[in-house]
Amino acid sequence: MKPAIHTGKRSLQCVPYAREVSSIGIRGDAWTWWRSAKGRYARGHTPEVGAVLVLSKTKRLRYGHLAVVAEVLNDREVLVHQANWLNRGRIHRYTPVVDVSPNNDWSSVRVWYTPGQKYGKRAYKVSGFIYPDTLEAKR
C-alpha cells in the first residue's frame, strides 16, 4: 500500500489512536506504555502485525510515540498506522518504518515522512513492541 495521510473528523493523538486500532487497553503517555504493558501484555523486539511500536521518550519526543504495525515487509521494514506524526492530529496509514539499529534488533528506527516522500533524517530510539494478546490469553 502507498503511504497516505487522512484528516479525520477530529484531531487525534497517537495514544488513543493506537489503543483503538490495536485493542491494547493501556492509558497514559506513549512512553509509559512499555512499562505499563509489563505483566499484562506480551512484549518483545520483533515486529508483528497488530503490535504497537513504542518509540521512547527523548528531548525531541517528549511524550514518546506509538504506531501500530500494519504489515511486516521484511526483517528490517514494516508499514505502520499512526496518528499525529509531525502534524496536527492527522492519521498516517501505511507509513514505512525501517530498523536502522546496528544489530538489527529494532532498537532504533527511521520513519517515512509522507509529505516529503522520503525517510526522515533522525533515528528514534525504540522501547519495543507490545503484542495485542494479554498474557492470560497466551497461556
* pLDDT at 107 (0 to 100): 98
Q: Place domain 4-138 in its CATH homologous superfamily.
A: endopeptidase domain like (from Nostoc punctiforme) (3.90.1720.10)
Mean pLDDT of the chain: 92
Query: Which cell numbers in the block locate residue 94?
Result: 501505511
Q: Which position has the higher pLDDT, 47 or 88? A: 47
Condensed to tens digits (0 to 9), the pLDDT of residues 99-124 reads: 999 999 999 999 999 888 999 999 99
- Give the start-to-end residue ranges of the domains of the chain: 4-138
Give the rounded percent of residues in the chain with a pLDDT score beyond 70: 96
Backbone angles phi, psi at 106, to 5 degrees: 60, 35
Place of cell 508499514: 79
* pLDDT at 139 (0 to 100): 35
